[in-house]
Chains A and B, each alone.
Chain A
Amino acid sequence: MSRTARVRLFLCAAAVIAVAYTLACTGLPHFGAAVHPYGARAVGATLKQRTANTISSINFDQRAFDTLGEESILLGSVLGVSALLRRTGSEREARPRPVRVLPSTSLFGVLLLPVALLTGVYIVAHGQLSPGGGFQGGVILATALHLAYVAADYRVLRRIRPRELLDTLDAVAAGAFTCLGVAGLVAGAAYLQNVLPLGTFNTLSSGGLVPVINAAVGIEVGSGVIVLLAYFLDQTIGTESGDGGTEPNRPTDRDEDSPCPT
């Protein structure tokens, strides 16, 4: 297809989709309606489980099976990236050069890195009580570590980032979530059932299984994001092609007269 034909085809189709979707949206319930069937049920179930944060209760208790799938997607993404960005025969390790950083930037990093780490831990640990939880806190933890890269340079980040360990930690945390589900079966209940003592409402130990799964997810997300970024950074900063240039991009033959480079 020529470029103009392609764009025309797409625009015609997009117009049809836009009209249909707009019409569909007119059938949605009005904004701010007082009745929300699912919300009412979920909040009720949350209070019954003595969990203060409804979102965490939905994520790690009521619909924990969804979350199990979601964090498996993260594990799969980390594994996939590690397979796709592995060092091939034509690439070798490059030594990242030290970079000059403004002293104020360094100071900022040194001061804020521990603060950011602490914030991440807090957000993970209080997931069952207040907004936040394993996913959000894990991302903050990973971001905190990368302050070292912003405030110093890549060599410093490498020194404080035990990649092999984090790789293993990521997998262990993912496996822990799966195993925590079996606890329910062992106790004679259903898979992923919240069988731990529920504790007192609005205290750190409340919510039974929720804080435990929350912690596993926090560790998995934190280490997973660090490892993901590590592969990407290594690919761009820590690797050079063996032949000094980029890989020759061979054109691919297709059912088309003119092979197109992507």
Chain B
Amino acid sequence: MNASDLLPLAVAVPLLGAAVFAAVGRLLPRLASDILATAWALADLVLLAVLWHRANGRTLTNWVGGWRPHDGEGVGVVLVGDPIGVGMALLAAALILAVTVYAWRYFAEPPSGHPGTFPALILLFEAGMCGFALTGDLFNAFVFFELMGAVAYALTGYHVEDPRPLQGALTFGIVNSLAAYCSLTGIGLLYARTGELGMAQIGLHLADHRTDALVVAAFVLVLTGLLVKAAMVPFHFWLPDAHAVAPTPVCMLLSGVMVELGVYGAARVYWTVFSGPGGIPAAAVHEVLVTAGVVTALLGAVMCWQQRHVKRMLAFSTISHIGLFLIGVALLNAPGVAGTALYVAGHAGAKAALFALTGVLLDQYGSVDEHTLFGRAVRLRWSVGLMFGLGGLALAGVPPFGTGLGKALTERAAGADLAWLPAVFVLTSALTAGAVLRTAARIFTGAGATPHDGSDAQTRGDHEEPEVREPGRPVPLPMLVVPGLLLAACLAVGLLPGLGAELARAGRLFTDRAAYTAAAGLPAPAGPAVSATAGAAATGTGWTTEGVLLGALSGVLAAAFAATALWGPNLTGTTVRRLGGLAAAGSRRLVLPLRRLHSGRLGDNVAWLATGIAGLLAAFTALK
């Protein structure tokens, strides 16, 4: 067995685990089930780590079933493990392990008669994510994408005693399924034109035609499914509704890695299928996706600041960060990809930790509402509170956190492209982090003025079903250890020597279409080689003074935003009153209409989905 055989096994191992849990889960005592689930998650993580090590920065390929192509013609499915793909699978596996350990004492009573259901679903989720990250075949990617989705809908609605999770899961399921039909239609169009399903193969055959309406429609439709999963504006409406109600361990996975896989998929499909002749011009992709990214980042940040329901707040913060990741990959160069990859890894640690800590609040107080919990969690100040604050700083991108390094690298690549883009990075990460710091200060220290309920209706976070049925017990150890380790991992991403350089190489490989095609055993693509390094700045791979300063600036701004929210109402004086009046007017004029758009109605979501598709079609048709 050689290293490339590990690629299909990375999918097969969790699939087998899911089958084992579904078959014998009911016979296992709780402790044995927890231990087995942890061991299984660890096994896949080790397998992927070995794969990463054996690949050693090269691209591994595996033709499943041994169906190698002859003379560039084949019928099989290929798995392509380049460093970015294996890295995404590794990230998914690491988070799955964290979630499995976190959930050890989490569900006090698993569904009666089905103790194996939750671990089985989690392992299926892992198989879907790994398969999606490692496949080099468009239809196969769709299959694993759907596996991810189907399992995620069920996991979101897991608390069936409460109607709200079911409502969130239903919205999530319907919107994402509609988007998946779009993707399948797009794949059908590409297959009709080229007679191929492999990404590299389709890309090669697109060169036989010019870029016409079919290619544009196929590109937009395939991307729709991926960008809905990634929650790009205006496809993002399902995400806060699903995140607010899903069980905390599931939120950690959805926000930490599943949503990011949507961005990864979009980038992968662009580079392998559409970046050559007969595809979509780079300038068009760059313009549309950078614009969408900026809008997503800003909208997510503004909405994040407005929330008092902590899980919804973190969900909007994810949307904001997705915007930044989109900008990073839409720069269409290697430094952008490398920076974004690092940013995604750091963000996964920080965001999953914050969700895990929110789970502790829910466990202890049966509420995730910032106003209801005001000053109530003082006794947890030095454990949960401290980690919550650190998580906020990590979100802001304060050095030496991994988010800071990722943000700095992506910012530099973005700044080389458009001088004002770094400002978007600094401002949005400061706003989302400010909201988190504000929450932490209120809940764990009771700082600032007592928050008053605004006149407009808001999504409140109390009356949540406590997810654990033993009130008054001490916080279970795994629920404190896991977020601690996740934050440590976020720190490690920023401090590990050589990781930046390795990812810079990975980014170059990811944006090199000829290398991908060659790895898939196909002849080199015709036409001019698309140079991914066009317009790339001098590539740095580590901390720079500028990066550290901008990260620190985000942190300072975040603290300033939080302080304004906490102590601003206590200040007196005419200037302050005037500023307060301005803020209130701005909030009425700008923010309230924005919040009204997030009605949570399924019909609205579908209307926005259609609008987004139409917008993308119009934009790419105009720019092709």
Contacts and interface: CB of A to CB of B under 8 A. Distances in A.
Interface of A: 1, 3, 6-7, 9-10, 12-14, 16-17, 20-21, 23-29, 36-39, 41-42, 45, 58, 61-66, 68-70, 72-73, 75-90, 167-168, 170-172, 174-175, 178-179, 181-182, 184-185, 189-194, 247, 249-250, 252-257, 259-260, 262
29 contacts: A6-B603, A7-B607, A9-B611, A27-B212, A28-B189, A62-B75, A64-B64, A69-B140, A73-B147, A80-B121, A80-B153, A80-B154, A82-B117, A83-B117, A84-B157, A85-B160, A88-B160, A175-B20, A178-B19, A190-B8, A194-B65, A252-B164, A253-B457, A253-B460, A255-B596, A256-B595, A257-B456, A259-B457, A262-B170
Contact of A255 (B8, B131, B154, B599): B599
Contacts of B23: 168, 171-172, 175
A206 B147 CA distance: 31
A6 B226 CA distance: 24
A88 B191 CA distance: 46
Nearest to B15: A178
B77 A80 contact: no
Contacts of B16: 175, 178-179
Given A1-B599, A20-B217, A75-B124, 17 more contacts: A10-B611, A14-B610, A17-B613, A23-B213, A76-B121, A76-B147, A82-B111, A83-B114, A83-B121, A84-B154, A84-B158, A89-B161, A182-B12, A185-B5, A190-B62, A193-B65, A252-B164
Contacts of A86: 111-114, 160
A6 B610 CA distance: 11
Interface in B105-119: 111-114, 117-118
Contact of A254 (B150, B212, B459, B614): B459
A79 B19 contact: no
A51 to B, nearest CB: 13
**Chain A CB within 10 Å — which of B5, B66, B460 has the most?**
B66
A40 B213 CA distance: 27
A189 B1 CA distance: 8
A259 to B, nearest CB: 8
Contacts of B113: 86
Nearest to A26: B213
A65 B63 CA distance: 10
Contact of A191 (B8, B75, B196): B8
A194 B120 CA distance: 28
Interface of B: 1, 5, 8-9, 11-12, 15-16, 18-24, 62-67, 73-77, 79, 111-114, 117-118, 120-121, 124, 127-128, 131, 139-140, 143-144, 146-147, 150-151, 153-155, 157-158, 160-161, 163-164, 166-167, 169-170, 189, 191-193, 195-197, 209, 212-218, 220, 306, 456-460, 595-604, 606-608, 610-611, 613-615, 617-618, 621
Contacts, number: 285
A66 B139 contact: yes
Nearest to A64: B65
A69 to B, nearest CB: 4
B617 A17 contact: yes
Nearest to B595: A255
B64 A174 contact: no
A7 B607 CA distance: 7
A189 B68 CA distance: 12
A185 B12 CA distance: 12
**Chain A CB within 10 Å — which of B19, B216, B460 has the most?**
B19
For the complex of A and B, the 5 pairs showing the least CB-CB separation, nearest first, are A80-B154, A175-B19, A27-B214, A24-B217, A171-B22
Contacts of B601: 1, 6, 260, 262
A256 B457 contact: yes
Contact of B76 (A62, A72, A170, A182): A62
B457 A247 contact: no
A186 B458 CA distance: 59
A25 B189 CA distance: 8
A83 B189 contact: no
Contact of A13 (B161, B220, B607): B607
B206 to A, nearest CB: 12
A12 B596 contact: no
A61 B76 CA distance: 9
Contacts of B117: 79, 82-83
B18 A72 contact: yes
A21 B186 CA distance: 10
Contacts of B66: 184, 189-190, 193
A72 B599 contact: no
**Chain B CB within 10 Å — which of A25, A42, A86, A87 has the most?**
A86
Contacts of B118: 83
Nearest to B118: A83
Nearest to A188: B1
Contact of A6 (B63, B458, B598, B607): B607
| Interface class of chain B by DSSP | helix
Contacts of A256: 457, 595-596, 598-600
Contacts of B77: 63, 65-66
A45 B75 contact: yes
Nearest to B149: A73
A12 B611 CA distance: 8
Contacts of B111: 82-83, 86
A76 B66 CA distance: 27
**Chain A CB within 10 Å — which of B9, B111, B621 has the most?**
B111
Contacts of B157: 84
Contact of A10 (B15, B167, B610): B610
Contacts of A69: 128, 131, 140, 143-144, 146-147
Contact of A257 (B9, B62, B153, B457): B457
Contact of A16 (B62, B140, B191, B614): B614
A73 B12 CA distance: 14
B458 A253 contact: yes
Contact of B140 (A17, A65, A80, A247): A65
A213 to B, nearest CB: 11
Nearest to B153: A80
Contacts of B195: 36-39
A59 to B, nearest CB: 12
A88 B114 CA distance: 13
A172 B155 CA distance: 22
A13 B610 contact: yes
A70 B73 contact: no
Contact of B19 (A37, A70, A171, A182): A171
A13 B459 contact: no
B12 A41 contact: no
Given A14-B610, A190-B66, A250 B163 contact: yes
A70 B193 CA distance: 25
Contacts of B24: 168
A27 B193 contact: yes
A191 B458 contact: no
B611 A13 contact: yes
Contact of B75 (A38, A70, A171, A194): A38
A130 to B, nearest CB: 21
A252 to B, nearest CB: 5
A79 B217 contact: no
Given A175-B16, A190-B5, A257-B457, A1 B607 contact: yes
**Chain B CB within 10 Å — which of A1, A13, A14, A249 has the most?**
A13
B146 to A, nearest CB: 6
**Chain A CB within 10 Å — which of B65, B77, B457 has the most?**
B65
B610 to A, nearest CB: 4
A254 B153 CA distance: 21
A79 B154 contact: yes
B457 A20 contact: no
A83 B154 contact: yes
A212 B170 CA distance: 37
B12 A181 contact: yes
